[in-house]
Amino acid sequence: MIAPELAAGAVRLALDRGATDAECTLAESEEFSAQVRMRSLEKLKDAGSCRAGLRVLIGQRVGSSHTSDLSGAGIRQMVESALAVAAISTEDPFAGLPDSSELGSLTVDLRLYSEDIHKFGTAARIQAAMEAEEAAFGTDPRITNSEGAAFGAYTGSRVFANSRGFAGSYRMSSCSLSATPVARQGDAMERDFWYSIARSHANLESPSAVGRRAAERAVRRLGARKIATQKVPVIFDPVTARSLIGNIFEAVEGDGIYRKASFLAGQLGERVASRNVTVIDDGTLPGLFGTSPFDDEGVPSRRTVVIDRGVLKSYLLNTYTAKKLALRTTGNASRGVTGNAGVGHGNFYLEKGDHPPEEIIRGIQQGLYVTELIGQGVNIVTGDYSRGAAGLWIENGEFAYPVSEITIAATLQQMLMDVEAAGTDLEFRGSVAAPTLLIREMTVSGR
Amino acid sequence: MPLSDSFFGQKFGITEHDLDSYLSEALSAGGDYADLYFEYLASSQLSIDESIVKSAVQGVSLGIGVRVISGERTGYAYSDDLSPEKIRKAARVAACIASGPSKVEKTGFEEVRGRDLYPIGIAPNETSLAERVELVKRADRAARAADRRVFQVQASYLDSLRQVLVATSDGILSTDRQPMTRLGVAVLAREGDGVAQRGYSGGGGRVGLEFFEIEKTPEHFAREAVRQAIVQLDATPAPAGEMTVVLGPGWPGVLLHEAVGHGLEADFNRKKVSAFSDRIGQQVASPLCTVIDDGTIRNRRGSLNVDDEGAPTQENVLIEKGILRGYLYDKLSSRLLRSSTTGSGRRESYQHIPMPRMTNTFMLAGDSDPEEIIRSTPRGLYCANFGGGQVDITSGNFVFSASESYLIEDGHITRPVRGATLTGNGPEALKHVSMVGHDLKLDEGIGMCGKEGQSVPVGVGIPTVKIDRMTVGGTAR
């Protein structure tokens, strides 16, 4: 691991050279990936890198810089560079570091790093990817081709120090396994994928489970039809519900709020969703991907209730956006290694409901079960929502046939109010999660 | 330019002998081919927000990527340290992919002869910060002055200068100096207490700062962003269902990028996972459509003197009068498909493995009058501007999101409608093109293309085009 003193040293040097405040981030990472395709090894990648970033204040002026050269000369150049750009910036009365009283780090073991990540050698990692692809081929005779399967492993560390006395660091690990099979029927081809990702090797799903699930997802898309344009109930499966919850994050993060660039600006305390919607941000859940002992300004991570049974309770803020809104930081500062911090999330999720997903599907006479969303058509300023979709058509409570080449549209405001049920199937596969969600009505556009 | 005079020769003392020895190390366990990609990237970013220059960032990133190819296998490693020990270590790691004696017979390097598609004297990042910060200040002032309904303005300026050196075991030695700049303006406007609407405009390319004085000024981008936001203030919900769609010229060329471009990248076709696989010579578009990918247009965002494998870029005909003519190849796919590289091997940085990518993708002009195209449309949607798009290359289904569009009623553009996503199927969509305008326009230089986690700058372009049938994803009937 890189020496944490390097960050404190860069901060001291910046102060010596005329900065009134400074903060330094170091990030180090090692990545490994093995990709197999059609039963043989295709790509192997193994490498690591380090980055340092510095942000300085001269009074109320701010400047930032970064470098991949961590030598003494590289660090000195980074300091001079940040000071030089601070000189051309404008005084910002809201610029600053967190108050000393806000700084700190969680001390419990957050299980972000697991030594067992190194347990498997290259050969065993390749073998796991091979097994995942083989399981996909074995699931259905219509899986005739493959874009491959991959095993990935990552370890990294992050160091942060500032001129208000904060110094902290933590290590992270993760490993992942994915498969992308291609199913064929006549001239039609469909691909889909599935994956497992965990901080510890022990928590990774088996290659056969990943391969089988990927194959099932690809095969069930075969024979897709384009349906007529109509308004129907829409069920988001946990994969697509996760993307919808990601849009909710964009609408509650402080940058968009103080600029009035979100449809949820000015709505604190108001009902913005149905009673079935409770949204939490929690950066303290051990072993998960949105967890950290402190945010990227040195403020401890925490649990924040964002929407409580439909009522907007809190935005997610860093020091700057909190000052702009006359609120307090929620420990959600986020950045790469440099620049003014933006707002990020911890584990951002929609609380599970009490309806098993099968029951939600059974309750629909005619509607759409969405398994894939593509494109960017979400406008957080207005709430307008229109995205490309694929999924399964529901008739009389059962899946009837796959559908594709359609769009689904509404506004996020209406969709939130129209959440009629949340499933029991909440699981974390990354830092954003949601269970199956039923939306009362959306416009499905097709033929 | 001799290696000793090049950036890496001067700054890091790298010699041909060094390159030879690193490549030998990479091929020490066997393999058919190896290459080295040295990169030094200096970048800066300035932004103004609420009329305050809140953020200014400068940085450098340096590294080398080593690749070994053995049959269909690729081994890759990189280092952000250019010391000989670290480069040799990366070479040995990349070599792990191969086994057996190497089949490569190296016979010295041949330097790729230079041409300069971006002949600028002073790169933007070599000018003073004060000069560059003035660009965002001017954009901010112009946007605020353009309309009283504007209440938020953010302008950002980015530039980078990338120095690259590629050395390959088949004897290529190439160097390039790749400048890039972009200025963007985002605004929010509102009438009274009404709903806010946003507008965005931006552009640039492999150009010097004079571009923003002569070709496109900060004021141009500011006024265009404001115009887009103001238009949206009166927009009503977009229609839903299949209808005639007319694309305006320029950035709507993103349709070509999604509908056909990605599906023609040779890696997908080698693996036969693209909806366009095995379809060379077949009709995949109306005879009015000729689609080109050209990496050699001067100063364009998607252009390169040499691709990221050291091969010169070129003009590639993808679709000629509706017939599929060719794919975009990188070195690996051209070796395996016994074709030749089309200069399409690109990568995001030294940390990434190259793959076939687009450069500047556009449709050639036809002979219809753009106004006649509108007049011939009884009912439809006119799309003037788009956000991004996405494609599933296997099924061929794609989407792209209109950010500025209008209803066409009885041959006239009538009223603006809100953003909506359009969807279609790649090999089918362009068969419905019934008119192509004579007004080909390239975009202003903001495109970024993502594939398998790697982003590279690209350009697009299209004349006014009428598509008889396409699904529009609004909410109104």
Question: Closest approach of chain B CAs to the CA of A278, in angstroms?
Answer: 26
Tens of pLDDT, residues B70-102: 999 999 999 999 999 999 999 999 999 888 777
Q: Are strands B110-111 and B172-189 parallel, antiparallel or unpaired?
A: parallel
Q: A18 in the Ramachandran plot: left (φ > 0), alpha (ψ -120 to 50) or beta? A: left
Of A41, A221, A377, the CB nearest to B421: A377
Distance of alpha carbon A127 from the chain centroid:
28
Question: Closest approach of chain A CAs to the CA of B454, in angstroms?
Answer: 15
Interface contact A86-B56, CB threshold 8 A: yes
pLDDT at A305 over 90: yes
Of B59, B76, B240, the CB nearest to A67: B59
In terms of C-beta distances under 8 Å and separation of at least 24 residues, what long-range contacts does A67-75 make, across chains too?
A: A67/B59, A67/B60, A67/B61, A68/B60, A68/B61, A68/B62, A68/B63, A68/B80, A69/B60, A69/B62, A70/A2, A70/A6, A70/A26, A75/A6, A75/A9, A75/A10, A75/A13
CATH 3.30.2290.10 region(s) of chain B? 3-233
Could you name the CATH architecture of B3-233? 2-Layer Sandwich (3.30)
Give the C-alpha separation, B276 to B272, whole Å: 8
Chain B contact set for A88 (CB, 8 A): 46, 53, 56, 129-130, 133
> Last residue of some domain: A189, A219, A249?
A219
- Which residue of chain A is at minimal alpha-carbon distance from B472? A445
Interface contact B241-A447, CB threshold 8 A: yes
For chain B, which ranges sit under pLDDT 50? none
A215 and A327, same domain (yes or no): no
Provide the CATH number for the domain around residue A55: 3.30.2290.10
A180 and A303, same domain (yes or no): no
A183 and A244, same domain (yes or no): no
Interface contact A49-B475, CB threshold 8 A: no
Contacts of residue A28, Cβ cutoff 8 Å, sequence gap at least 6? A1, A2, A48, A49, A50, A51, A156, A157, A158
The SS3 of residue A16 is helix
Which phi and psi (to 5°) does residue B254 adopt?
-55, -25
Give the C-alpha separation, B97 to A40, whole Å: 12
Give the C-alpha separation, B92 to A318, whole Å: 44
Confidence of residue A3 (pLDDT cuts 50, 70, 90): confident
Give the C-alpha separation, B423 to A230, whole Å: 16
Interface contact B74-A43, CB threshold 8 A: yes
Q: Which of A435, A437, A47 is nearest to B37 (CA)?
A: A47
Angle at A19 between CA A17 and CA A25, to 5 degrees: 100
A205 and A339, same domain (yes or no): no
Tens of pLDDT, residues A114-170: 999 988 899 999 999 999 999 999 999 999 999 999 999 999 999 999 999 999 999
Give the C-alpha separation, A292 to B329, whole Å: 43
How many helices (DSSP H) and strands (DSSP E) are in chain A?
9, 20
The helix (run of H) or strand (run of E) holding residue A139 is helix A122-139
Report pLDDT for A1. Answer: 65
Tens of pLDDT, residues B15-59: 999 999 999 999 999 999 999 999 999 999 999 999 999 989 999
Contacts of residue B196, Cβ cutoff 8 Å, sequence gap at least 6? A260, A261, A381, A382, B151, B188, B189, B190
> Last residue of some domain: A167, A188, A219?
A219
Of A62, A189, A259, the CB nearest to B395: A189
Question: Closest approach of chain B CAs to the CA of A340, in angstroms?
Answer: 7
Give the C-alpha separation, A280 to B67, whole Å: 44
Which residues constitute the domain of residue A253? Answer: 224-447
For chains A and B, CB pairs below 8 A equal 252
Of A69, A91, A406, the CB nearest to B471: A406
Interface contact A375-B400, CB threshold 8 A: yes
Of B63, B129, B424, the CB nearest to A88: B129
Interface contact B57-A221, CB threshold 8 A: no
Interface contact A261-B196, CB threshold 8 A: yes
pLDDT at A75 over 90: yes
Per-residue three-class SS string for A239-293: HHHHHHHHHHHHHHEHHHHHCCCCCCCCCCCCECCCCCCCEEEECCCCCCCCCCC
Chain A contact set for B423 (CB, 8 A): 375, 388, 405-407, 445
Chain B contact set for A89 (CB, 8 A): 53-56
A111 and A128, same domain (yes or no): yes
Question: Closest approach of chain A CAs to the CA of B71, in angstroms?
Answer: 9
A65 and A212, same domain (yes or no): yes
Token representation of residue B213: 């004085």
A31 and A74, same domain (yes or no): yes
A290 and A393, same domain (yes or no): yes
Question: Closest approach of chain B CAs to the CA of A184, in angstroms?
Answer: 10
DSSP letter for A220, please.
T
Q: What pTM did the predictor assign?
A: 0.95
Chain B contact set for A446 (CB, 8 A): 241-242, 471
Chain A contact set for B45 (CB, 8 A): 339
A334 strand-pairing partners? A342
Domain count, chain A: 2
Tens of pLDDT, residues A385-401: 999 999 999 999 999 99
A291 and A203, same domain (yes or no): no
Question: Closest approach of chain B CAs to the CA of A404, in angstroms?
Answer: 8
Interface contact A82-B353, CB threshold 8 A: no
Interface contact A49-B389, CB threshold 8 A: no
A211 and A73, same domain (yes or no): yes
A117 and A204, same domain (yes or no): yes
pLDDT at A33 over 90: yes
By CB neighbour count within 10 A (0-12 exposed, 13-18 middle, 19+ buried), where does B448 fall?
exposed
Distance of alpha carbon A341 from the chain centroid:
17
Confidence of residue A4 (pLDDT cuts 50, 70, 90): confident
Q: Which of B319, B365, B328 is nearest to B456 (CA)?
A: B328
> Last residue of some domain: A190, A219, A248?
A219
Q: Are strands A279-282 and B412-417 parallel, antiparallel or unpaired?
A: unpaired
Interface contact B44-A85, CB threshold 8 A: yes
Per the CB < 8 A criterion, the answer to whether B355 and B452 are in contact is: yes
Of B75, B97, B473, the CB nearest to A409: B473
A194 and A278, same domain (yes or no): no
Beta strands in A92-229 (DSSP E): 143-162, 167-185, 188-191, 194-198
Q: Which of B158, B358, B190 is nearest to B263 (CA)?
A: B358
Report pLDDT for A197. Answer: 96
Interface contact B55-A340, CB threshold 8 A: yes
